[in-house]
């Protein structure tokens, strides 16, 4: 809509309308010869009651103390890796069309970054929870990335295709609060890629300059990915934290979506210790966009230091 403002000579001059939408949530940075693009998939809102080993009142107060909304708002991020050989990998595919309307923003943000679905030749999954894998397929269950190979840890595929695991979750509810509904969804999301799937193990190079890091507990095959190039590195640590304001200072806090909560907490402490000791640059699926940071020890626990914005790529 074109507005006008009066001039001194009495003639109305056009006035710009205020923006009605945020700019596309994409962010580029270099890791040696690799270009990493952080792409937001939006966010999910949900109950504080899914956090374990902490009361709702305590976790809510921790959010209020740092001016975050209550109940929780969980950021969703995916990552594009532009390899030096021209290949393109996508780490995680977001929530797709089957979750909240505030999520599923990956396709439009990829388009804003100039990346078409057919440009992606490799999809690397941290794990198969729906906010990470529902974007694999379109609403009519075709491959959302028609030329891409799908790669995940072998233990992840084994878990989501296990009838025993599905029956145990339906019985206990642990890891999948919907009583097992995640299992058929995971299988439907994988189905369009059945003839182009690859399984890897810890320490394997899964894409040029990218090594898989097995971080089990949240799911059996949950992984991070270490990008290393030109003497620089960055660890995309997956779901090591879901709510950074709570789980960074309180790493014992788990979430109902953890398949093995005790292992998830132990893995989180191990990864925290590793990245704090080595001063590793990190990125996470549920860190606030643009989702890159450092972690440091502070006062017997840990503190997250988000990366400062830079104009230089």
Q: How confident is the model at residue 21 (pLDDT cuts 50, 70, 90)?
A: confident
**Residue 96 burial class via C-beta count within 10 angstroms: exposed 0-12, middle 13-18, buried 19 and up:** buried
Q: Is the dihedral angle over the CA atoms 287, 288, 291, 295 positive or is it negative?
A: negative
Q: What residues have CB less than 8 Å from 20, skipping those under 6 apart?
A: none
Nearest-angstrom CA–CA distance, 89 and 268: 26
Who has greater pLDDT, 98 or 202?
202
C-alpha distance across the termini of the chain, in Å: 35
Across residues 143-170, what is the average pLDDT? Answer: 96
Nearest-angstrom CA–CA distance, 215 and 179: 24
- Does the pLDDT at position 155 exceed 80? yes
Instruction: Residue 278: name the closest of 217, 225, 233 by CA.
Output: 233
Nearest-angstrom CA–CA distance, 106 and 109: 5
Pairing of strands 122-124, 282-283: unpaired
Nearest-angstrom CA–CA distance, 25 and 39: 6
Q: What is the pTM of this model?
A: 0.93
Who has greater pLDDT, 256 or 310?
256
Q: Which of 16-25, 146-155, 282-291 has the lowest mean pLDDT?
A: 16-25
Who has greater pLDDT, 312 or 199?
199
* pLDDT score, position 301: 94
Q: How confident is the model at residue 8 (pLDDT cuts 50, 70, 90)?
A: low
Across residues 236-253, what is the average pLDDT? Answer: 98
What does residue 163 show for φ and ψ, rounded to 5 degrees? -65, -35
CA distances from 308 to 56, 150, 291, 312 (A): 31, 33, 11, 12
Q: Which CATH code for domain 24-306?
A: 3.60.15.10
Looking at mean pLDDT, say which of 89-103, 165-179, 268-282 comes out highest. 268-282
Residues of the chain with pLDDT > 70: what percent? 94
Across residues 101-128, what is the average pLDDT? Answer: 97
- Does the pLDDT at position 69 exceed 60? yes
């Amino acid at each position: 809509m074109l507005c006008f403002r009066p001039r001194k000579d009495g003639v109305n001059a056009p006035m710009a309308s205020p923006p009605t939408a945020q700019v596309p949530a994409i962010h580029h940075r270099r890791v040696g010869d690799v270009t990493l693009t952080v792409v937001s998939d939006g966010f999910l809102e949900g109950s504080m009651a899914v956090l374990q080993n902490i009361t709702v009142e305590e976790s809510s107060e921790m959010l209020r103390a740092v001016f975050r909304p209550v109940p929780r708002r969980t950021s969703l991020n995916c990552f594009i890796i532009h390899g030096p050989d021209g290949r393109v990998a996508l780490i995680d595919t977001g929530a797709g069309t089957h979750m909240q309307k505030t999520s599923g923003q990956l396709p439009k943000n990829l388009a804003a970054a100039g990346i078409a679905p057919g440009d992606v030749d490799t999809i690397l999954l941290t794990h198969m929870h729906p906010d990470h894998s529902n974007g694999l397929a379109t609403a009519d269950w075709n491959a959302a990335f028609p030329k891409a190979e799908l790669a995940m840890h072998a233990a992840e595929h084994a878990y989501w295709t296990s009838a025993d695991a599905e029956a145990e979750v339906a019985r206990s509810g642990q890891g999948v609060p919907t009583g097992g509904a995640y299992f058929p969804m995971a299988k439907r999301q994988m189905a369009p890629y059945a003839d182009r799937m690859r399984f890897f193990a810890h320490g394997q190079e899964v894409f040029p300059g990218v090594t898989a890091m097995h971080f089990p507990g949240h799911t059996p095959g949950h992984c991070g990915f270490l990008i290393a190039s030109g003497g620089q590195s960055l660890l995309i640590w997956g779901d090591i934290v879901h709510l950074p304001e709570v789980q960074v200072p309180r790493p014992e806090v788990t979430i109902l979506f953890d398949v093995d909560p005790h292992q998830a907490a132990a893995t989180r402490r191990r990864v925290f210790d590793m990245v704090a000791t080595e001063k590793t640059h990190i990125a996470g699926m549920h860190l606030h966009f643009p989702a890159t940071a450092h972690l440091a020890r502070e006062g017997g626990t840990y503190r997250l230091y988000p990366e400062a914005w830079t104009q230089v790529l």
